[in-house]
Amino acid sequence: MQRALKILGPTALALVVVDVILGLWVTPPDEVQGDLVRLVYLHPALAWVALYVAFGLAALCSILYLWKRTRSLTFDRLAAASVEVGVVFTVLTLITGSIWGRPTWGVWWTWDARLTSTALLAVLFIGYLALRRVPADPDVRAKRCAVAALFAAVDVPIVHFSVVWWQTLHQGATVLNANLSPRIHGSMAWTLLLSFIAFTALFAWMVLMRFKLEELNTEGEDAELAAAIVARQAEGVSS
Amino acid sequence: MWRDAWLVASRDLRIEARSRVAIWQVLPFALLTLLLFAFALGPKPGLLAESAPGLFWLSVLFASVLAAQRSSAIEGTSATKDAARLLGLDPSGVFLGRLGALLLEIVALEAVLLAGVTLFFHVRVTSWAVLIPSLLLAAIGLCAANVLYGSLAGEARVRATLLPLLVLPAVAPVLIAGSKAFSSSVLVGDGGSGARWLGVLAVFAVVYSALGIVLYGPLEES
Amino acid sequence: MAPAISLRSAVVVAGNYPVLSGVDLDLEHGHVCVVLGANGAGKTSLLRLLSGLATLTAGTACVLDCTLPDEGASLRRQVGLLGHDVGLWDDLYPAENLRFALRAARQDPSLATEALERVGISGKTAKTRLGLLSEGQRRRVGLALLIARRPQLWLLDEPHAGLDASTRLLLSELVESAAQGGATVVATSHEPELSVPMADVVLTMRGGAVIEQRLGGRLRPRGVSDVA
């Protein structure tokens, strides 16, 4: 894994830098949205990583942990790393969405269906992180968090449809009625594709780093436990 | 499983009948929230009537978290949890039993709150065919989620603050769908199609009940 | 016949702390074992392991023919545990608690009344919420549950604590009666003068392990062998 991280990190960073350069300076402005369209090289990729990759991975690892045959704390740590990084990407999604929304709608926030469900998803997973911080045995904590992630993952489609239907009853706040999906072609299309690859790679690198950190913590705890067992046994021997 | 569910539900209801926490604490709290909403929004009858569906469901949500805390407290000292495990109670049965007992309390709460919004917020129900099923389905989903998350949230000290954070975002669909179903069954607001919202409530209730039957056992083992 | 309890280097960890650091123990059916030791020695943790409530982290454990940790659920149904907290519901009357427990364990709920009378819980006490009873009365209700359930393995955590003289005598009679009926009894104690006379085996624990094992003072019926 060390070698993978050594390659992945710089590669991801380089891809993001290239994406930013292309997005800010090389690609043309949109005929309707002008320079505002440049957020398309950030926002959809961030949203894709946050909503599908991060939480999808967390849900998958949680299922693998809960299934006895594949139960391993590795999956628990991977799920936790994925949720942590996923929450960061979700917040960035909301921020970039707001930045786009301000000139478009005249307000920093609107009850657009996607923004609203994304915000709710962020809170669901912040709850996961809060649960993770409750002191407990590693296996107990892993089980609780896996179940919480599964609940959140199952809830996501229900939340999404509820919010979409709820919001569609209240159309009308948007003057421009624009959305973040302008017609894309040429260099814009390639840059958009690059942004997805770049941010997915960045996510992968951040998750692996976080996972590695957690593993190092655990190795330390295992060594402490072994020492604690020896010390406890010595209590029994000494008078 | 059903036998154990019946046993646990009877026990919880007997405890409630003796301690009367739902009647003397949870219900007054729910009615109080209605009053506080009125203070916050101002006494304009039109505004209150229009907001009634949402306010009703917010009150139910908050009260259900309180009732769930109480249910977890009954179930939840480590000694009684150990006792339940030693007695060989089927965990799915325990989940359904707790769900059943809590459901009765929440349905009773909804009935009283409904009377409250009718009286205080001048709401007139026109379609009971949508409202009654929505109250029942929403209650099932809320109770299932509360029992499950109550089990996740661990011991009492931590549960008091953690449970609301875990359960309230998860039951947002119930709040949305419940409010919309309520709107479509009274002569205010724009509820859209009641059937669609009943569908959302039904899906939520089925999903969380199924999750509970499957996952309550593994959760309680820990 | 396999021993009722067989532990080899049993380790139990709770929150990264080894509460049991390697316990070796063999105990035959129908024997009474008393466990002595200072606070923090691991006595209660041993009971929790034997009941199937605590998870075995390392070593091997076989209790009542159930291999731990896999067969914990099967073991738990055969065990009766009387801990510091009796594990019953404070808002219910003693009889209601017992009837609930017996029904849950698929046993006859009518056994509750006789069991409660045997431990001296009757009349007004029997119609008082458990939470309002004294510590000694609560423990007697816990004992009544054991009498009614007749488990194969009795696990008693400092059973003499909080009991008056007559109830202590009753406890010793109940333990003897259970052992003669074939049940195995493991009890922790801080009062060796009360507990050792009822024991076949006396263990002393320290640092999460057994450091000494000797014979107790129980007069056994002919034919029951000494524990090695």
Q: What is the pLDDT of residues A121-135, one digit of tens each?
A: 888 889 899 988 887
- Contact partners, residue A117, CB within 8 Å, separation at least 6: A156, A159, A160, A163, A164
Residue A235 belongs to some domain of the structure: no
Tokens of C37: 């030791």
Q: What is the mean pLDDT of chain A?
A: 82
pLDDT band at C220 (very low <50, low <70, confident <90, very high): low
Residues composing chain B: 222
Indicate if the pLDDT at residue B189 is higher than 80. no
pLDDT recorded at residue B107? 94
SS3 of A181, please?
A: coil
* ipTM of the complex model: 0.83
Closest CA to B150 of B101, B202, B88: B101
Rounded average pLDDT over B108-133: 89
Indicate if the pLDDT at residue A33 is higher than 80. no
What's the N-to-C CA distance of chain B in angstroms?
A: 20
Rounded average pLDDT over C87-115: 92
Give the range of the structural domain holding residue A22, as residue numbers without chain letter.
Answer: 2-212
What's the N-to-C CA distance of chain A in angstroms?
A: 47
pLDDT recorded at residue B56? 94
Lowest-confidence segment of A3-7, B52-56, C41-45 by average pLDDT: A3-7
Closest CA to C205 of C47, C13, C62, C79: C47
Q: Which residue of chain B has the CA closest to C149?
A: B87
Indicate if the pLDDT at residue C225 is higher than 60. no
Calculate ∠ Cα A231-A233-A235, nearest 5°.
75
Measure CB to CB from residue C209 to each of A136, A139, A233 and give the nearest one.
A233
Closest CA to A155 of A129, A180, A128: A128
Tokens of A211: 């996972």
Contact call for C15 and A135, based on CB within 8 A: yes
- Residue B82 CA to residue C150 CA, distance in Å, equals 18
pLDDT recorded at residue B187? 60
Tokens of C202: 């006396």
Neighbouring C-alpha atoms within 13 Å toward the C-beta of A164: 9
Tokens of B89: 């109670």
B86 chain-C contacts, CB cut-off 8 A: 51, 53, 76-77, 79-81, 87
CB B199 within 8 A of CB B136: no
Interface test with B, best of A62, A159, A171 (most B CBs within 10 A): A159
- Enumerate the β-bridge partners of residue C17: C14
List residues of B whose CB lies inside 8 A of any C CB: 4, 7, 11, 14-15, 18-19, 74, 77-80, 82-89
pLDDT tens, residue by residue, B2-28: 999 999 999 999 988 888 877 788 888
User: Could you identify the residue written with the tokens 């992180």?
Assistant: A129
Indicate if the pLDDT at residue B196 is higher than 70. yes
pLDDT band at C221 (very low <50, low <70, confident <90, very high): low
Rounded average pLDDT over A94-114: 82
pLDDT recorded at residue B222? 56
pLDDT recorded at residue C100? 94
Beta-carbon contacts below 8 Å between B and C: 59
pLDDT recorded at residue A88? 93
Where exactly are the structural domains of chain C?
A: 29-44+79-215
Q: What is the mean pLDDT of chain B?
A: 86
A29 preceded by cis ω (within 30°)? no
Indicate if the pLDDT at residue B43 is higher than 50. yes
Contact call for A136 and C11, based on CB within 8 A: no
- Residue C207 CA to residue A234 CA, distance in Å, equals 7
- Enumerate the β-bridge partners of residue C12: C20
Indicate if the pLDDT at residue C138 is higher than 70. yes
User: Could you identify the residue written with the tokens 């909804």?
Assistant: B110
Q: Which residue of chain C has the CA closest to A134?
A: C15
Contact call for B211 and A165, based on CB within 8 A: no
Closest CA to A147 of A162, A161, A123, A131: A131
pLDDT tens, residue by residue, C10-22: 999 887 788 898 8
User: Does an H or E element contain C67, and which?
Assistant: strand C66-68
- Residue C28 CA to residue C32 CA, distance in Å, equals 9
Residue A219 belongs to some domain of the structure: no
A127 chain-B contacts, CB cut-off 8 A: 162, 165-166, 169-170
3-state secondary structure string across C172-203: HHHHHHHHHCCCEEEEEECCHHHHHHHCCEEE
Distance from CA of B127 to the nearest CA of C (A): 41
pLDDT recorded at residue C163? 83
One-letter identity of residue C32? V
pLDDT band at B156 (very low <50, low <70, confident <90, very high): low
A221 chain-C contacts, CB cut-off 8 A: 16
- Enumerate the β-bridge partners of residue C201: C33, C215
DSSP structure class, residue A236: H
pLDDT recorded at residue B35? 86
Measure CB to CB from residue B162 to each of A130, A140, A159 and give the nearest one.
A130
pLDDT recorded at residue A238? 58
Helices (H), C34-184: 43-51, 72-76, 94-104, 111-118, 123-126, 135-149, 165-180
Closest CA to C211 of C78, C21, C44: C21
Give partners of C (≥3 CB pairs < 8 A).
A, B
Residue A226 belongs to some domain of the structure: no
Whole-angstrom CA distances from B219 to A62, A199, A215, B92, B214 are 13, 35, 24, 11, 10
Q: Which residue of chain C has the CA closest to B83?
A: C87
pLDDT recorded at residue C145? 93
pLDDT tens, residue by residue, B60-114: 999 999 888 888 877 767 788 888 888 988 999 999 999 999 999 999 999 999 9
C88 chain-B contacts, CB cut-off 8 A: 80, 83
- Residue A35 CA to residue A24 CA, distance in Å, equals 9
Q: How many structural domains are present in chain A?
A: 1
pLDDT tens, residue by residue, C157-174: 998 887 888 888 888 899
Q: Starting at the earlier edge strand, list the strands of the sheet with C5-14.
A: C17-27, C5-14, C58-63, C66-68
Interface of C with B in 69-88 (CB under 8 A): 73, 76-77, 79-81, 83, 85-88
Residue A238 belongs to some domain of the structure: no
Rounded average pLDDT over A74-101: 91
β-pairing, C5-14 vs C184-189, is unpaired
pLDDT recorded at residue A146? 92
Give partners of A (≥3 CB pairs < 8 A).
B, C
Measure CB to CB from residue A236 to each of C11, C16, C206 and give the nearest one.
C206
Distance from CA of C198 to the nearest CA of B (A): 26
What CATH superfamily classification does C29-44+79-215 receive?
Answer: P-loop containing nucleotide triphosphate hydrolases (3.40.50.300)
pLDDT recorded at residue B121? 86
Contact call for C21 and A137, based on CB within 8 A: no
Tokens of C51: 């009941």
pLDDT recorded at residue A170? 44
pLDDT tens, residue by residue, A159-210: 777 777 777 644 433 333 345 455 566 777 888 888 999 999 999 999 999 9
Phi, psi (degrees; rounded to nearest 5) at A34 = 65, -140
pLDDT band at C187 (very low <50, low <70, confident <90, very high): very high
DSSP structure class, residue A30: B
DSSP structure class, residue C130: G
- Contact partners, residue A228, CB within 8 Å, separation at least 6: C16, C17, C18
Q: How many structural domains are present in chain B?
A: 1
